[in-house]
Amino acid sequence: MAVLYFFREPETVFDCAGFICILQFLMGCNGFGIRGSNFRISRASRIYSMSVAIAALCCLFVSLSVLLAAEDVKERLAKADNLVLSISALELVMSTLVFLVTVISLQVFARRHLGIYQRLAALDARLMSDFGANLNYRKMLRKNIVMLGIVTIIYLMAINSAAVQVASGHRALFLLFALCYTIVTGGPHFTGYVHMTLAEMLGIRFRLLQQLLKPEFLNWRFPQLHVQELRIRQVVSMIQELHYLVQEINRVYALSLWAAMAHDLAMSTSELYILFGQSVGIGQQNEEENGTGYRMLGYVALVMIPPLYKLLIAPFYCDRTIYEARRCLRLVEKLDDWFPQKSSLRPLVESLMSWRIQAKIHFTSGLDVVLSRKVIGLFTSILVNYLLILIQFAMTQKMGEQIEQQKIALQEWIGF
């Protein structure tokens, strides 16, 4: 694709993940920067991350306080729906807390976070030098650029269009508020996407190791018995290393991922309520109010896209990676049957199977919430049930209004 002409041809995992890590770093949500083709932790990168976080929060609340002191803004807020204002205030408070949790936790675990990429790079070097593997970094980089580009454009359009709509005589302040709000909410969103990308990277390597463990490939690529046994041991050690990386990702992202998921679920239900309430109200108001309602619908729908995507798609990537990991372990179990002449492989297989029973590897967030397809079903059922409750409530309310109108009409007909 033409967009890749602006980027250097990726040769390492650092080049592949550099684009998303730069965005994460620019929003202050990790403690390492990029120098050349490697990631580095330095005093300057730490200071920058903390400075961006503090500046974004200070500018956010200073601009908000100035706007709330303006008379025309006070008049608009007085006419606004109290429940919508409460949800907006809740969103601002929760987003701030999630941003603080994300920044602080990833600063604390910055060296471990960097270590994940360094260990992946070392594993990739072994795959390419010893097995001649092609990891196709270009495809992964293209996906990151396209996906994050689309999500970023949608998110910025939603926030800035809302700022322009409500900005009458305070456009500069509203745009400053919108920029700071984008950093505060976008940082955790990008962090969730980085976690999703790491899970996908591990899944790709698990699938590659499955191909390397097949006896047809081993017999063709390494006909010498001693070399073949050495390569089998290397593959088994890399499978175990990838399992350890799953555990390390869980430690680094436990707190930030849990906070972001709680925020996304809470705000998705609130925004769903706003969408439903606005859609029911449209058509029963004058033309100007209907236009405002349509704009509100569009804004809320656009803002809901990134958290919903992250909430529902991320567990799918995690579940698929764990599925590929289990397939790798099942192939390791068959090594005794495939290579009966190599008795030295039996202790290796037995030790790995014993470790597998004890480890029980899964992607988790805080409070040991397992990220799998069951979680997707749970989140989907919560949202669907909430929507059904809203529909039932609206029908009950509408039925009550109709009964009241019938009573009034009947009383007028009788003559009371």
Average pLDDT over residues 77-106: 84
pLDDT bin (cut points 50, 70, 90) of residue 179 is: confident
pLDDT score of 389: 73
Helix H or strand E encompassing 39: strand 38-40
Statement: residue 401 has pLDDT above 70: no
Residue 187: which of 25, 18, 19 has the closest Cα? 25
Q: Which residue has the higher pLDDT, 122 or 81?
A: 122
Statement: residue 23 has pLDDT above 70: yes
Q: Which residue has the higher pLDDT, 115 or 275?
A: 115
CA dist 290 and 320 (Å) reads 44
The predicted-structure confidence for 241-272, as pLDDT tens digits, reads as follows: 999 999 999 999 988 888 888 888 777 777 77
Helices (H), 213-361: 215-221, 225-281, 287-333, 335-338, 345-359
The torsion angles phi and psi of 364, rounded to 5 degrees, stand at: -135, 160
pLDDT bin (cut points 50, 70, 90) of residue 166 is: low
10 DSSP assignment = P
Cα 30–chain centre separation? 15
pLDDT score of 44: 86
CA dist 192 and 63 (Å) reads 27
pLDDT score of 36: 67
Statement: residue 321 has pLDDT above 70: yes
Statement: residue 202 has pLDDT above 70: yes
Residue 102: which of 230, 310, 241, 252 has the closest Cα? 252
pLDDT score of 282: 47
Q: Taking each helix axis from N to C terminus, what angle separates 287-333 and 137-166, rounded to the nearest 10 degrees?
A: 160
Q: Specify the pTM.
A: 0.85
Q: Which residue has the higher pLDDT, 55 or 30?
A: 55
β-partners of residue 364 are 370
Statement: residue 73 has pLDDT above 80: no
Residue 236: which of 349, 338, 146, 323 has the closest Cα? 349
- The total of other beta-carbon atoms located within 10 Å of residue 320's CB is 17
Q: Which residue has the higher pLDDT, 348 or 272?
A: 348
pLDDT score of 283: 45
* CA dist list (Å): 127 to 133, 170, 395: 6, 57, 61
Percent of the chain with pLDDT over 70: 83
CA dist 6 and 313 (Å) reads 28
pLDDT score of 4: 56
Statement: residue 302 has pLDDT above 90: no
pLDDT score of 241: 92
Helix H or strand E encompassing 144: helix 137-166
Tokens linked to 46: 């730490």
Average pLDDT over residues 312-333: 89
How far the first Cα of the chain sits from its last, in Å, is: 76
**Residues 6 or more apart in contact with residue 129 via CB below 8 angstroms:** none
β-partners of residue 39 are 34
Compute the mean pLDDT over every residue in the chain, rounded to the nearest whole number. 81
Average pLDDT over residues 206-233: 88
pLDDT score of 276: 65
**Residues 6 or more apart in contact with residue 185 via CB below 8 angstroms:** 95, 99
pLDDT score of 1: 47
CA dist 58 and 373 (Å) reads 39
